[in-house]
């Protein structure tokens, strides 16, 4: 007599066991400034002195003194928002270079 699965009633066929779920391997993105990587340095931008709260100047990797906004801390994951801020700073810098 074959052993029966205790979850099945005598009139039911035994049900197959579900396949195992294997978690995908996660790899560290390394250091860099791309989304998903870990920031190799702190990144800051100075805040405008006129009190508007807007950012000004280039991205710097040490606190520029006065009021500044930290974009990302060293070792933290670069998110899409961080990347957008870095791109915006680069675009502003290249606009100033073209005008000046």
Give per-residue pLDDT as tens, 62-99.
999 889 999 999 999 999 999 999 999 999 888 877 77
Q: 53 vs 57, which has greater pLDDT?
A: 57
Tell me the domain boundaries of the chain.
Answer: 43-99
Give the chain's length: 100
pLDDT at 12: 74
pLDDT at 82: 96
3-state helix, strand, coil in the chain (%, to 5): 20, 20, 60
């Amino acid at each position: 007599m074959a052993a029966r699965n205790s979850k099945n009633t005598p009139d039911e066929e035994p049900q197959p066991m579900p396949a195992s779920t294997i978690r995908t391997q996660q790899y560290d993105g390394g250091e860099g400034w791309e989304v998903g990587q870990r920031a190799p340095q702190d990144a800051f931008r100075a805040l405008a002195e006129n009190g508007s709260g807007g950012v000004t100047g280039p991205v710097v990797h040490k606190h520029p003194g006065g009021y500044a906004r930290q974009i990302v801390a060293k070792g933290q994951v670069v998110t899409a928002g961080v990347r957008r801020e870095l791109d915006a700073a680069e675009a502003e810098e290249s606009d100033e270079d073209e005008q000046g």
